[in-house]
Structure 1
Amino acid sequence: MRLSAVPALLVTCFALAGCASTSGPEELVAGVATQEKTGSVDLPAAPVPSVGVGKTSRIGAQQTPQRQAPPEQDIAWTGPMPEPQAFVRETTVGMPLPAERPVAMLMPDSPEAEPAPRRGRTQIYSRQFRDAKPINFGRVSPRSYAVHGVDVSRWQGDIDWAKLRTQGANFAYIKATDGGDHLDPMFKTNWRGAKEAGIKRGAYHFFYWCRTAGEQADWFIRNVPRDPDALPPVIDVEWNGESNCKAKLSRARVLDKMQVFMDKLERYYGQRPIIYTAPDFYEDNLSGELLDYPFWLRAVAQHPSKVYPGRKWLFWQYSGSGLSHGVAGKIDLNVFHGSEEQWHSWIGPRTTLAQN
């Protein structure tokens, strides 16, 4: 952080204030921009909204160091924030959670013939995407699945959502937040654009292991609207080895923090969150765990059945090098695990949203 232009008195004040900060180690590097890129998406050549970056996400979401949040009136664009809760320690809150009906997670051996779309259903567009680094996945390739989609963040820049939809983006997961005080600068634009184009949309949060789960859940809730037509929220859990937070917690601690975050979101949005993860983090922490949660799995070289043996899954991210009309540069590509009929059934009414 450059301080050459700051009066000495102000520097002294900041230094004293920093000693009392409780925001965690991420505050120490706030505002230092880097040229890091995600593990799956190359940075576009065109300019993107300016904000400091520092962490990496495999679902196309450049992570940033945590910084001091702006005043609430500037960020609480989705409505009033729930009353803050005092946390002595992170525990799973004992309130009953809404039950999620089963989702279509059985892996078909081959695609089935689809019935004609029913009246009133959203049109499903076939996959027109290309791939800069195509992979031969064998007998059950991504093309075997009926419903394709994308995930995006600020690094895709301005998106022509209407055109992207016709290329096969039947759903989109949009980067919303990470940590306890960073909002993706393109979230509101992408959130509105996807809806206007008729794309089923959901929001995801990149989990930061150096912040409390309660803080992060509150930050997500503050910034992501409670829309009954939205897809379930997603928690993206990976090791943050390329960020300033290099903590590697025990499996028990990881699961405890995830549970606190997911319980709070489920209570607020009325839908069970989806867990996105990558092979190394899964092997360390999630194999055999959280069997009653839907999973979104990254597997860009082999089918999920080989990378995550025995794990049922709902979404598969099969490429971080997709190419499509409507977006500049590369984009993450995904499929829903089921037929077109199962997709329409799954996106139908689930639960009544929780009340404030």
Structure 2
Amino acid sequence: MRRLSAVPVLFFACFALAGCASNSGPEDIVAGVAPRETTGSITQPVAPVPSVSVGKTSRISAPQVQHEPQTETLAWSGSMPAPQAFVQETTVGMPVPSERPVAMLVPDRSVVEAPLQRRMQIYSRRFRDAKPINFGRVSPKDYAVHGVDVSRWQGEIDWGKLRTQGANFAYIKATDGGDHLDPMFKTNWRRAKEAGLKRGAYHFFYWCRTAGEQADWFIRNVPRDPDALPPVIDVEWNHESSCRQRLSPKRVLEKMQVFMDKLERHYGQRPIIYTAPDFYKDNLRGEFLDYPFWLRAVAQHPSKVYPGRKWLFWQYSGSGLSHGVDGKIDLNVFHGSVEQWHNWISPRTTLARN
């Protein structure tokens, strides 16, 4: 009797089994069609998600988001765009980047309004003045955000009381020259923040010391706090100082530039220039146009004393009186509205200048 070969039998059996186990046709295999599956609880959309416009949502309410002009576009289905380089701002105030990278967008009401909820409370001005001045048509009371500047001469300060009197910001004396630290600086620096004030530090410039040494001394003693206001260089003629040098305007500008460049590289913020009328007239008219100025003018509005000069802070009194402080205190205003103040104090960083 003839015996069938085992090889053909096995061949036909395997072919039949393969046909029963597969649900995909040959064209599916060739085309490489992926099986339709659901992974976890996330269902893949059939069509691409449309792009979403990204506006300046931090300054508008939720219902207006739908009507905000499209300034940037983020395609959710695409890859994340590379972060944009920060560009140094040269307008008055803290330098701000011209663009910021968009990491994520959640078009939700709570996200839109979150920045408003974290804003510091602005207290209205309750200060008095031992020597009140009639400033005319525009006076300090016409500005919304008031503050103070202090040093060792104010002694122990009740920062909580001072805050509720209208001190929304404080500039605190830190250093002068290349070897003097105000003995109350560390205490005032800590307590002002605990009381909820925005605070910054200032340096009294000494014309008989090199600018580099003075910058190093300031940096050594003033913490690099991203929440702090920009550092201040106080430049004026001090008639009570042991330094009697009267440098030429050229040398004054050179020394200031060295000091400010070093601070800007370290703190990431452009320093503010504080000055008085006589020093300004001798050295600073028409200079440092891309720096913010803090101007002393205790008898007239800054527009009268410093014609044409843009300013950020105005020191309008050296004879202020307030609860929380024994004796007199310097009073100041911010040049802008409450909204502009909140925008200005937002954390910002500049590129270090080469």
- Alignment TM-score, normalising by the size of structure 1: 0.68
How far off is 1:224 after superposition? 0.1
Q: How far apart, in 1, do the equivalents of 2:87 and 2:209 lie?
A: 26
Q: Are 1:149 and 1:334, in contact at CA under 8 Å, matched by a contact in 2?
A: yes
- CA 1:101–1:292 in structure 2 vs 1: closer, same or farther (change >3 Å)? closer
How far off is 1:104 after superposition? 6.2
Structure with max Cα Rg: 2
- Tell me the equivalent position of 2:209: 211
Q: Are 1:240 and 1:247, in contact at CA under 8 Å, matched by a contact in 2?
A: no
Q: How far apart, in 1, do the equivalents of 2:351 and 2:188 lie?
A: 23
Q: How far apart, in 1, do the equivalents of 2:194 and 2:157 lie?
A: 12
- Tell me the equivalent position of 1:192: 190
Q: Which amino acid aligns with 1:268?
A: H
- Tell me the equivalent position of 2:21: none
How far off is 1:240 after superposition? 2.4
Instruction: Tell me which of 301, 306, 311 is aligned to 1:308.
Output: 306
Instruction: Tell me which of 254, 257, 261 is aligned to 1:256.
Output: 254
Deviation per CA, 1:159-208: give whole Å up to 9, x if none. 00011000000000000000000000000000001000010000000000
Q: How far apart, in 1, do the equivalents of 2:319 and 2:135 lie?
A: 15
Q: Structure 1: where are the runs of 5+ without partners?
A: 1-96, 106-116
How far off is 1:352 after superposition? 5.9
Q: Structure 2: where are the runs of 5+ without partners?
A: 1-85, 95-114
Deviation per CA, 1:227-255: give whole Å up to 9, x if none. 00000000000012221101000000000
Alignment of 1:18-97 (within 5 A): none
2:113 is equivalent to residue 124 of structure 1: no
Secondary structure (helix, strand or coil) at the match of 1:227 reads coil
- Tell me the equivalent position of 2:297: 299
Per mean C-alpha deviation after superposition, the further-off stretch among 240-249 and 295-304 is: 240-249
Q: Which amino acid aligns with 2:133?
A: I
Alignment of 1:115-154 (within 5 A): 118-154=116-152
- Alignment TM-score, normalising by the size of structure 2: 0.68
Secondary structure (helix, strand or coil) at the match of 1:240 reads coil
How far off is 1:349 after superposition? 2.1
- CA 1:102–1:144 in structure 2 vs 1: closer, same or farther (change >3 Å)? same
- CA 1:100–1:162 in structure 2 vs 1: closer, same or farther (change >3 Å)? farther
- CA 1:268–1:121 in structure 2 vs 1: closer, same or farther (change >3 Å)? same
Give every structure 1 segment of 4 or more consecutive aligned residues whose post-TM-superposition deviation is greater than 4 Å: none
- Tell me the equivalent position of 1:274: 272
Q: Which amino acid aligns with 1:248?
A: R
Q: Are 1:98 and 1:266, in contact at CA under 8 Å, matched by a contact in 2?
A: no
How far off is 1:100 after superposition? 3.6
Deviation per CA, 1:8-58: give whole Å up to 9, x if none. xxxxxxxxxxxxxxxxxxxxxxxxxxxxxxxxxxxxxxxxxxxxxxxxxxx
- CA 1:353–1:288 in structure 2 vs 1: closer, same or farther (change >3 Å)? closer
CA RMSD, 1 decimal: 1.7
Deviation per CA, 1:140-176: give whole Å up to 9, x if none. 1000000000000000000000110000000000000
- Tell me the equivalent position of 1:284: 282
Deviation per CA, 1:71-103: give whole Å up to 9, x if none. xxxxxxxxxxxxxxxxxxxxxxxxxx9724634
How many residue pairs are counted as aligned between the two chains? 247
Q: Are 1:237 and 1:276, in contact at CA under 8 Å, matched by a contact in 2?
A: yes
- Tell me the equivalent position of 2:173: 175
Q: How far apart, in 2, do the equivalents of 1:131 and 1:214 lie?
A: 38
How far off is 1:136 after superposition? 0.4
Q: Which amino acid aligns with 1:350?
A: R
Per mean C-alpha deviation after superposition, the further-off stretch among 170-179 and 235-244 is: 235-244
Q: Are 2:211 and 2:256, in contact at CA under 8 Å, matched by a contact in 1?
A: yes
Q: Which has the higher helix share?
A: 2
Identity of aligned residues (%): 87
Deviation per CA, 1:282-325: give whole Å up to 9, x if none. 00000000000000000000000000000000000000000000
Q: How far apart, in 2, do the equivalents of 1:333 and 1:318 lie?
A: 6
- CA 1:266–1:104 in structure 2 vs 1: closer, same or farther (change >3 Å)? closer
Higher RCO (CA-CA < 8 Å; seq separation 6+): 1
